[in-house]
Structure 1
Amino acid sequence: MRATDLIPIGKLAARVGVSVSAVRFYEAKGLIRAGRNAGGQRRFVRSDVRRLSFVLIAQQLGFSIQEIGERLATLPEGRTPTAADWAKISASFRDALEERITRLTALRDRLDGCIGCGCLSLDKCALYNPDDRAARLGAGPRYLLGDRPGV
């Protein structure tokens, strides 16, 4: 690898639109790896621009640093990821996003009805959750957590 293939931390931060301290944070979390030049300064590969951009997008979609790191760990070491590599990661995120969309849609559609919380304060509870049957399923808003009435 040529020295021109490597970029300093400040340039990486500027290209991605984050602070230098944010780059250090992502490095500490293992999402990117820096090499060091003869003077001990961090140098990153150019493909880290795309990696960090991916991290920022995934965070905006609600994924944790750990979830992002697990996906990034599937990328190849020692070479710039290809479009096929990124497509594989995107597919795994797509599945997780579809699941979240399904849960959010159910939440939206049931939020004004019984959520199986055990409050028994609404007139509807006698219909949706008689004798607080949802409590047998566990604590919390059982129906919003995915349990079904009457199960």
Structure 2
Amino acid sequence: MLQRLRPEFPDVTISKIRFLEAEGLIRPDRSPAGYRRFTGDDVERLRFVLAAQRDHYLPLRVIKDQLEQADRGGADRPLTVAVERIDPDEFAEGSDTRLSRDDVLRQAGVTGVLLDDLEQYGLLASGSDGFYDADAVQVARLAAGMADYGIEPRHLRAFRAAADREVGLMEQVVAPMYRQRDPAARDRADSIARELGALSVGLHSLLVKAGLRRITGR
């Protein structure tokens, strides 16, 4: 069984397979003497699990859910990895939350120096009324996490520039629709903007994962 898997997954081990069995992702039959007996379907199931982990970084919970869905669909249903995608509703209009500078510092647990740097390099900005929205807290927390590894706000300008370029591409698609007077067209533009935002973030995530695999060799 290992010989069938190792050409595609050279790091697979018996202990790894037994761990996946303990987690309920595979269920090989047992001989009267207690030995595991892997069928061709078991090997394909293992191949699916290992590929989902390696190529898509899916957590075992998600992989197990997909396996159970395939099982409910019948034995002839092929196993295919369904990549988790960003929900377009996450790009709906923000809340009316208004946070003061002290609110952001307290909720994000960051210093005023870091917040100043994030504003200086365009990662954060308060509104015309001097208040921040709820996303400011998340941005500050993420930036603080990266700073723990020596990546400072000045290094994050590339993130801001990349995001602006992505938004510029999406604007070319939806801007003409927003200029129409028809309310239905504007509603459609809102929907498309959210969908494009979700697709953009999903693509960016996969490209980063691919780049990391080149670095780690895994």
Category of TM-score, reference length = shorter chain: 0.5 to 0.7
- Give ranges in structure 2 of 5+ residues lacking alignment: 7-11, 91-103, 143-218
The alignment of Structure 1 onto Structure 2 pairs a total of residues equal to 108
TM-score normalized with structure 1 length: 0.56
What is the SS of the residue equivalent to 1:133?
coil
Contact 2:28/2:37 (<8 A) preserved: yes
Contact 2:52/2:63 (<8 A) preserved: yes
Contact 1:58/1:68 (<8 A) preserved: yes
Give 2:19's aligned residue. 25
TM-score normalized with structure 2 length: 0.41
| 1:86 maps to amino acid | P
TM-aligned CA distance change 1:138 to 1:124, over 3 Å: closer
Q: Displacement, 1:132?
A: 5.0
Q: Which structure carries more helix by proportion? A: 2
Distance 2:124 2:18 in 1: 55
Share of identical aligned residues, percent? Answer: 27
What is the SS of the residue equivalent to 1:76?
helix
Give 1:64's aligned residue. 59
Distance 1:21 1:44 in 2: 15
Asked if 1:129 is matched to 2:121, the reply is no
Give 1:74's aligned residue. 69
Asked if 1:99 is matched to 2:86, the reply is yes
Cα deviations across residues 20-73 of structure 1 (Å, max 9, x unaligned)? 111101100111002111211111221111111111111121100111011101
- Give ranges in structure 1 of 5+ residues lacking alignment: 1-11, 104-115, 145-151
Q: Displacement, 1:127?
A: 7.8
TM-aligned CA distance change 1:45 to 1:132, over 3 Å: farther
TM-aligned CA distance change 1:67 to 1:126, over 3 Å: closer
Q: Which structure carries more strand by proportion? A: 1
